[in-house]
Amino acid sequence: MKNLILLAQQFTLPPGEPIEYSTVNIFLENTAKFLYTAGITLAVITLIISGIMYFRAGSDTKADAAKGWFRNGIIGAFIILAVGVIIKTIQIIVSGNFF
């Protein structure tokens, strides 16, 4: 216990400005917007690539690979968009506008 008290006495905060709610709010807003943009971009790129792969497929195995690309890309985009929604919800709660 004595060592813990000595450690707490030696600890000092680094210099700088404290983090305010508005700073956290802006950070969360920007992060959510980035994730929305990344998710939609990923979905569009995956749709285009899998469509090209599907049209160029000469066999069923290549067509199945294109379908796999499409499915995995949509799932990935959904996960990214879901994280964006979660961060946006946290941002609304931090800003105090949830209830």
Task: List, for residues 13-60, the tens digit of each pLDDT value.
Answer: 778 888 787 888 888 888 888 888 888 888 899 889 998 988 998 888
Query: What are the φ/ψ torsions at residue 20 (nearest 5 degrees)?
Result: -105, 165
What is the model's pLDDT at position 78? 86
Say how far apart CA 95 and CA 88 lie, in whole Å: 10
* pLDDT of 5 over the 80 cut: no
* pLDDT of 6 over the 60 cut: no
Per-residue pLDDT band at 12 (split at 50, 70, 90)? confident
Q: Would the pTM count as exceeding 0.75?
A: no
Buried b (16+ CB within 10 A) or exposed e, 9-28: eeeeeeeeeeeeeeeebeeb
